[in-house]
A and B are shown apart, each in its own frame.
Chain A
Amino acid sequence: MADLSINLAGIKSPNPFWLASAPPTNSGYQVQRAFEAGWGGAVWKTLGDPILNVSSRFAAVNFNGQRVAGFNNIELITDRPLEINLKEIYETKKRFPNHAIIASLMVEPKQEKWHEIVKRVEDIGVDGLELNFGCPHGMAERGMGSASGQVPELVEKQTYWVKEAAKTPVIVKLTPNITDITATAEAAVRGGADAISMINTINSLAGVDLDTWNTIPHVAGKGAHGGYCGPAVKPIALNMVGECARNPHINVPISGIGGISNWKDAAEFLLMGATGVQICTAAMHHGFSIVEDMIDGLSNYLDEKGIASVMDLVGKSVPKYSDWGDLDLNYKIVARINNDVCINCNKCHISCEDTSHQCIDMLVDDNGKPFLKVREEDCVGCNLCSIVCPVDGAIDMVEVKQPLPSMTWNQRQATIQKFLVDRVAK
């Protein structure tokens, strides 16, 4: 069995699956139940000056009968006194010394506030700190969370203040509610962050009730934007992790967060540069026991691939993630329909005909049987037909070898540039 233990900036845990700072990590009772179920670590629900919460806090987006494709919340940071949280952290750490407990912190952007909370939390014994610069609702209106996380200077300065006082590794959690996350990631690194984690939730409104015209959720008839997470945000998070992982100025480990629901999602984040992952929505949907299959599935995957340690997976796909200008313009794939497997729903035809490149013909054979055929010379290899196809193996996207050698847009532009310069020189 492969070694699943990780070391993220000095924080060790028996496996890469941590519970993210969120409702599941609100108390010692919950975190201890999670560790019993097998979670490798937990980022405690954000500590700070206790706040007041509203009632009616969560909402979910269902998609075609599947519940919780996305999840939205307007809950704030912990509403329990700091002393109680610290006492429970102490008790939990004592019971589970080998599991990672990371304290998520959020205070006003003042040096002394950060120094004070860092000292109090570290005195109790945690494995690391995570600075919540991401929470997009409520706290942001008070100048904390994503309000400071959207300003690179504030990220850098506050990280620096924390590092002045901290003895344990400091993870900076970033908000996705920003045009380019590498800007704040770089700021965190400049401030001395030992690691970064992403993404926090995305500004969202889950829906509007068509009978009452209230927002979903609403609090006494009024709503406010929440933070969006769950399976729907995974591609956004994965891109942000990949962008940071391939950025040479961001040379700290990444804790990946955002829509991770099973071991496969986790493995993708690891391949794209995350050293470990944090999970919330999937646990909220199904309970802590889901970690069992995350561990078992990842372990079986590593064994099958002959990989001894999960750490060997980290970042393996990063070199494959690049810019559009580096993609080979002479690479060509086309769709091939396997008529033996095809069930003739014609979805590929209509999606291509109406919305792509009009290259799938509806034909009838000599026996009067309808079939679909791709005109490969007109196919641009967009993948749409294979995406809408409901049957595995009915459409293959196959590479067609091209006579021309590989050439990227950047190479092409450079060649043209060179040609022009040469001509001028002549």
Chain B
Amino acid sequence: MSNITGGQISANLAENFQEIFKGMTKTEAIVEANRCLYCYDAPCITACPTGIQIPKFIKKIASGNLKGSAKAILESNPIGASCARVCPTEELCEGACVLNNVSKPIAIGNLQRYATDWAMKQKEQLFEAGTQNGKKVAIIGSGPAGLSAARELSRLGYKVTIFEAEKEAGGLGRYGIVSFRLPKEVVEWEVQQIEQMGVEIKTNTRVGVDISAQQLIDQYDRVVLAIGMGKVPNLGIEGEQFNGVYDAIEFIKSTKTSPLTESVVGKKVAVIGAGNTAIDAATTALRLGASNVQILYRRTRNEMTAYQFEYDFAKQDGVEFRWLTAPTRIVGNANGEVVGLECIKMELGEAGLDGRQKPVPVDGSEFIIDLDIVIKAIGQSRYTELIEAFELNHTRGVVEVDKETLKTSQEKVYACGDVIFGYGQGDAMVVSAAEQGKEVAKAIHQSFKLISAS
């Protein structure tokens, strides 16, 4: 993933949303696979949150056993095709590669993509459901965590039903990550692999509206909450009601759900925030034809949560970064349209509870940027209402779970993915959500074994 290069922006918008990296050629893959040392007790495996047996899958590419390679990947990570594209590999497997200090690390992400792309083309079903054990599990949410839990539970013999509020399954990967990094077809294939195991996915079904929390608890032996996070919250400043203020997630989602429009062409855009989604929103805006896109961040480059490769990519695409800049007011015209953004310069003060220095406004430093569009990317809100419908203990929407079993305060309810991320708990990466899905499946299975043993 990390070797995507930005800056190739076309006037034909559709081209801008084609996947940027086309994948390795066979020659590249074989040369690279043969470069892998096949380390024993390899550090790349430890560095992968899902523990993919990386040397094993690479050896299989080298030997021409592509089916075996794809299975080795997906065995450990049910959404291994998505992760091959979105994982921050230099911080994970590739960062741990022993060749970092000798030559250059093995392109593990791209090799993973090569093997899973091969599997996608075959259209073969790679895993089968286990013998039915008579137990039913409801999973709420079909994002990375939910899909992963579903695949593993299905292999263990559980009858799994996923409840998905959206029209299509796939969650963040399907709607929240830009097409030029993760095309929807990849997620669709992963969903299909899981559906073909007999997992039922009820889309357009919102728990709490179409079916109640209590009904799920009553009708299923276990419930897995994998609902992720919600909309981007309000900035809490004046003018958020103006036309031209967008939620970054919704903004990205629109490019994956409906035909691309010319509505951003020639517009001046500011993205508030400097996380992964901010980068995706900013590059999306440029690729939709914006004439200028700035990322405004109240701290500095050192504190931003976007990965280095995302930052590099955004710079290549032409995104401007304004550090130590916080919005104070959105300026609109008489027609209710955004025309500018008032900002204030910040400086870093004392370190906060999270160890990061807190930004403090510099008095009198206000200035106005001329703008047409403001995109909010300051994190996501929580589905607190639904969490409370299950009567789960939580801290401002971050569901409390047992570290080992991912069980919530409710006996039958488990949680994984972004819904448990925060306040030092969990991890925000897609690959971590996949691992948590596996852990939940294991813990649920263990809970029944304990019952049958007692």
Contacts and interface: CB of A to CB of B under 8 A. Distances in A.
B65 interface: yes
Contacts, number: 41
Interface stretch (B56-64, B289-297, B315-323): B56-64
Contacts of B65: 263, 293, 296-297, 300-301
Contacts of A297: 60, 63-65, 68
Given A297-B64, A297-B65, 17 more contacts: A263-B63, A264-B63, A286-B38, A286-B59, A289-B40, A290-B38, A290-B59, A293-B59, A293-B65, A293-B68, A296-B65, A296-B68, A297-B60, A297-B68, A300-B67, A300-B68, A390-B27
Contacts of A391: 27
Interface in A281-325: 286-287, 289-290, 292-293, 296-297, 300-301, 304
A351 interface: no
B331 to A, nearest CB: 54
B121 interface: no
A301 B34 CA distance: 20
Interface in B397-446: none
A392 B63 contact: no
A293 B60 contact: yes
Contacts of B27: 390-392
A264 B66 CA distance: 13
A269 to B, nearest CB: 15
A91 B38 CA distance: 31
A211 B2 CA distance: 44
B26 interface: yes
The range of chain A's interface size is: 10 to 19
Top 9 A-B pairs, shortest CB-CB distance: A297-B65, A262-B63, A296-B68, A300-B67, A286-B38, A293-B60, A297-B63, A293-B59, A392-B26
Interface string B32-66: 00100010100000000000000010011011110
A66 interface: yes
A297 B62 CA distance: 11
Nearest to A290: B59
A2 to B, nearest CB: 13
Most buried by B among A262, A390, A391: A262
Interface string B56-94: 100110111101100000000000000000000000000
B154 to A, nearest CB: 21
Contacts of B59: 286, 290, 293
A287 B38 CA distance: 9
A175 to B, nearest CB: 29
A391 B34 CA distance: 16
Contacts of A301: 65
A293 B64 CA distance: 10
Nearest to B40: A287
Given A66-B34, A286-B38, A392-B26, A296 B64 contact: no
Nearest to A263: B63
11 contacts: A66-B34, A263-B65, A286-B59, A287-B40, A289-B56, A293-B59, A296-B68, A297-B60, A297-B68, A392-B26, A392-B27
Nearest to A297: B65
Interface in A248-271: 262-264
Task: Report whether over half of chain A's contact residues are helix, strand or loop; otherwise say mixed.
Answer: helix
Most buried by B among A66, A262, A293: A293
Interface string A66-79: 10000000000000
A350 to B, nearest CB: 20
A292 B69 CA distance: 12
Nearest to B71: A296
Contacts of A392: 25-27
A391 B28 CA distance: 10
Given A287-B40, A392-B27, A293 B67 contact: no
A292 B56 CA distance: 9
Nearest to B30: A392
Contacts of B34: 66
A264 B40 contact: no
Contacts of A286: 38, 59
A380 to B, nearest CB: 27
Interface in A118-140: none
Contacts of B25: 392
Nearest to B65: A297
A91 to B, nearest CB: 25
Contacts of A300: 65, 67-68
Contact of B56 (A262, A293, A390): A293
Most buried by B among A66, A290, A300, A391: A300
A290 B39 CA distance: 11
A293 B26 contact: no
Contacts of A262: 62-64
A369 to B, nearest CB: 22
A293 B40 contact: no
Contacts of A290: 38, 59
B60 A296 contact: yes
Contacts of B62: 262
A301 B25 CA distance: 22
A361 B63 CA distance: 35
A398 B64 CA distance: 24
Contacts of A264: 63-64
A300 B64 CA distance: 11
A366 B136 CA distance: 69
A29 B435 CA distance: 35
Nearest to B27: A392
A301 B68 CA distance: 10
Nearest to A295: B68
Nearest to B60: A293
A66 B35 CA distance: 8
A203 to B, nearest CB: 29
A392 to B, nearest CB: 5
A179 B34 CA distance: 35
Contacts of A289: 40, 56
A290 B27 CA distance: 22
B24 to A, nearest CB: 12
A264 B38 CA distance: 18
Nearest to A294: B63
Nearest to A261: B63
Contacts of B64: 262, 264, 297
A300 B67 CA distance: 7
A375 B203 CA distance: 61
A235 B59 CA distance: 22
Nearest to A65: B35
A293 B65 CA distance: 8
Contacts of A287: 38, 40
